[in-house]
Amino acid sequence: MKTILRMLTATLLLFPMLGLPLSQGFAASAHSNKNKSNARLEKIAADLKSWSHKSPNSYVTVVLQLPKGPSADLLTYIQSVGGKVKRSYRHIGAITIRIPAWAAESLAGREDVSHVTYDRITAATGHLETTTGTDQVRGSLPSGAGTLDGTGIGIAILDSGIDINHNAFLDSNGNSRVLASVDFTGEGRTDDPYGHGTHVASTAAGTAGIGNGAFTGIASNANIINVRVLNAQGQGSASDTIAGIDWAIANKDVYNIKVMNLSLGSIAVDSYATDPLCLAVRRAVDAGIVVIAAAGNNGKDSNNNKIYGMIHSPGDEPSAITVGAVNTFQTVARNDDGITTYSSRGPTRGHYTDDQGVVHYDNLIKPDLVAPGNKIVEAEAPGNVLLGENPALHSSGTSAANGEMTMSGTSVSSPVVAGTVALLLQSNPSLTPNLVKAVLEYTAQPLAGFNNLEQGAGELNVEGAVRLAQLVRQDLQGLSVGAPLLTGAAPTESSTIGGQSFQWSGGLIQRWNFIYGSNLITQYQGIYGTSGDGILLGDGVLLGDGILLGDGILLGDGILLGDGVLLGDGTTMADGTLFVNGLLLGDGILLGDGILLGDGVLLGDGVLLGDGILLGDSVLLADSVILGDSSNKKHKH
């Protein structure tokens, strides 16, 4: 009981932290809970609705999400209001149309339309082998199986194009590893005048033949698929990116596309449940593609104060692996590594408004992990815009084929993880997207002095991730929950990189919590299935049999739910300014809309979990799972 009361006390303290009187916080929770049970999702994005009232006769480009394909009646209606279809998608239930703004609400009222959203602008978000531990695993494949370098794995780079003539993209025989190039910007070109995509692609998969190996990418022999969705100024639209994702899904088997990198994004407005770009990412993950997304570069304001809640879309999508940026200070050792000041912090702030006018925020923990992203030297597209604006970015090279430039941002850290995923899948092709995410998070290095909303599970650890991935059995299909997950003994949960040894995080992010326990890697969990079956690690719900992740059925050896999520290093969110577009993070809403502290965890009803355990019961959870007991916590973050 003391444990439960401590947790409840910690929960209550969140209200004054967010600037709410305690009584107001409970009232808001009860009010929101009542509305949530009866209210329905409003089918038009808030910014689009506002614009339709402000400027009804202006024309806007919107994405219509459809429960089925576009009906003849819908197409006739679009034409009747003076609109036209700009783009349709084969594998994503949506179309992009151009209409007068006043028609947006009428479209949202139709039964054959699920949601109407602005076609928002997207933009690029601005010594790897040794500091990530990649060099330590190059020779880890069985004898005769080659080098661990991503061979055979296709990485789709959705960006500003790629200079395919750069030496960074040649294989050992001098042939290009860029297997395909397509353009969705309308500019009719697939090269990289902006300069962003070439650098990103080489970070993920640049060859060792440049700079005497000093600038080798993570998966240095992986195949690259160039999907151009950002124009010559580094900008695009949600519909361009959705089209690129749709194409990648359609061609995944042709080019063995197993990984997709999105070093781009826009400010998250809609909930991930309705954001068309997030939903397109979910379709890609459902199709078996591991999607990596940049967190964004909005971690501070103009006065260098910390800002929380600025994770970009589609980085706020739970199925994506969202990556923040680490500053390595150009040293191999990791004991000086820290989160860059600009790296966007969670929680996610996409939201929806129900038909009673109540706003509900997603508030998920993001990023999922962090990786090197500051002053990274990789391939330079000749004469690119970024270089023209800042010639000092040029690092080395005297020809167009071997030029190198320096870039920083979560755009750079994202492809570091994308390349790592290619290594994991070369090591063990049976890994599902959910298992890939679990392996990366479980083996990450927690960085002291940074909380989970800044670093997720911690810094990328390629050595540990590959070692764990190679132990996972390859006959996962049809495994029952609780079956042995590994082919041998559990690995030592520590790594040594650059002469520094560190413990793994030993846990996973689950919506609003961080869960711990060796059962996560020694026994098969239902959440490790394919997301196409309705199972998603980030959602924390096993839909196959209705079991919540937090039920304590298997995850029972010292797992913490709700402990240290916001206070991972002993600090609180009050250490940073909690502003999102000028609004306080709380703005009347606690994490989980002031309603849930976890799946089925109600604040005001005296119920800790939806499995019959009431506040005041002397019963704790099965398998000795204890809520909020720091004595079970493996590592402080």
Catalytic sites, residue numbers: 159, 196, 411
Q: Is 123 helix (H, G, I), strand (E, B) or coil?
A: strand
CA–CA distance, 259 with 321 (Å, rounded to integer): 11
Query: Identity (one letter) of the amino acid at 557?
Result: D
C-alpha Rg value of the chain to the nearest Å: 24
Q: CA 104, CA 118: separation in Å to the nearest integer?
A: 10
CB–CB of 560/548 below 8 Å? no
Closest CA to 52 of 42, 65, 67, 66: 42
What angle (nearest 5°) sits at the alpha carbon of residue 269, between those of residues 264 and 272?
Answer: 80
Helix residue ranges per DSSP H, 209-275: 238-250
CA distance linking residue 210 with residue 608, whole number of Å: 56
In contact, 493 and 522? CB cutoff 8 Å: no
In sequence order, what are the residues at sequence separation of 6 or more whose Cβ sits closer than 8 angstroms to the Cβ of residue 536? 318, 319, 434, 527
CB 117 within 8 A of CB 48: yes
H or E stretch at 267 = strand 264-267
Burial grade of 108 (CB within 10 A; 0-12, 13-18, 19 or more): buried
Which CA distances in Å does 108 have to 65, 89, 115?
Answer: 10, 19, 6
Residue 80's identity, in one-letter code, is: S
What one-character-per-residue DSSP string does 306-350 give? BB-S-PEETTT-TTSEEEEEEE-TT-S-STT-EE-TTS---S---
Helix (H, G, I), strand (E, B) or coil at 18: coil
> In a 3-state reduction of DSSP, which class is residue 65?
strand
Cα distances from 525 to residues 39, 366, 484, 555, in angstroms, run 34, 22, 10, 8
